[in-house]
Chain A
């Protein structure tokens, strides 16, 4: 019997009350699969992730999610001046399972320690979150999702701002976590990393394409429809790249 998909979307439209921000989105993600979510800024990647999370109800189509979703935000969205340790942040993942008046106790902190161990950060459990490197912070936020016992991981541009060794280490970790039977959706601007996923979904207000990386990313028309004119051919056969979206934090 083939495994049941953890996420199954068909004809999904979603938005914030006005005209839909995304429409016509359909894909299914099996346990163990990694989905790269490509699209320009403002193209609806975050809207789709919020719909999967259940924060937005689809205005059309059907969207079934069969597991707890753990969100891994960009670490810039978190408070880096906050007085919390890596372990404190990982333990936040336990809160959704506890009654509202309870703080994470010993059991939850042990689970947080195991999750930090899993992402290779046991030794830094007591370090202040804001003092970790970008890649380490991303791992702590993944550990938080593991404490949530999430079968679906939603990562929002996890590689942005990372140097190459950190990005490669993080990519290997994500592959391992998927290998354990989780479904992983990764919003990214990095075509090379998208190429190594199991599925690629291109979205620019509507779904442009969804399929295996080789066929989706090999089609210049798809990339143009996804990114508009912001694609450049790298001279000397280096492949194609997307002109990076303007960065605010320079």
Chain B
């Protein structure tokens, strides 16, 4: 069990999945409750051109990912204001445009070899600089979640009353999207553009079935994400499978394993009696 830990690349990969799991699992709980799974997936895909440009220029991926995610978020905000286009359609338009642009760049002659690792992740290829950046962003995400907990909790619970409780739902939305963007940038190195959404949705979906308080749920989701990450790395090490895909599959496996447990809980849940009152 300990043998793979002798390898420096494995040590860095472990550090990477711990960072990704902690930030992604905790943030994922809000992604699930705010219905942001599609947004998470879309934001992840739309940073592809930024990643390719960074690879072509030979600079850290973050320098490409950060501006691309800002462009995507602004474009989505603008498109959804066009009359007749709903928010969902606006997201689809922007994401396919950005992703297509990324593919065009990736297939250009200037593109360096190994661009596919941007799509599928290269969890074993993390450099010390990548790790330091990921650590910084992961700490930022966790600290921000702690500070903004009350605001995000209230805005998600009942938007209509949030304002009278001193909370701006628009602020909570924007803060969550920004944190999601930061979280995606952390996770994209290891899991890649196409698989990154797994870490935000899978562990949180499991934790939601097993816990009925927010903080335990976030801790559980982070723990499960880290566990699945480590399991995926071992799978990859011994079975020779691709790193990012192994981690994503381990997350799915955790979800499937949790299904019977969730059923037990929900069958315990008492039905709330409902009676319509007739007006006297």
Chain A positions near chain B (C-beta within 8 angstroms):
53, 55, 69-71, 73, 77-79, 82-85, 88-89, 92-93, 95-98, 100-104, 128, 131-134, 144, 148, 159-164, 167, 189-192, 238-239, 241-242, 244, 247
Contact = CB atoms under 8 A, between A and B. Distances in A.
Contacts of B269: 131
Contacts, number: 106
Closest CB pairs A-B (n = 8): A96-B166, A163-B275, A78-B158, A192-B280, A101-B147, A71-B164, A103-B150, A71-B161
Interface size class of B (residues with CB under 8 A): 35 or more
B280 A190 contact: yes
A21 B90 CA distance: 31
A77 B165 contact: no
A93 to B, nearest CB: 7
A238 B153 CA distance: 46
B279 interface: yes
8 contacts: A55-B164, A78-B158, A84-B157, A92-B154, A95-B151, A95-B166, A103-B150, A131-B269
Interface in B180-216: 208, 211-214
Interface in B256-278: 269-270, 272-278
B212 A102 contact: no
B156 interface: yes
B279 A242 contact: yes
B280 A241 contact: yes
B167 interface: yes
A41 to B, nearest CB: 14
Given A77-B160, A84-B153, A134 B279 contact: no
B171 to A, nearest CB: 9
Contacts of A101: 147-148
B140 to A, nearest CB: 14
A134 B167 CA distance: 25
Given A83-B214, A89-B157, A104 B275 contact: no
Contact of A73 (B151, B161, B272): B161
Given A71-B160, A83-B212, A162-B277, 4 more contacts: A53-B164, A84-B157, A190-B279, A247-B276
Contact of B150 (A77, A98, A162): A98
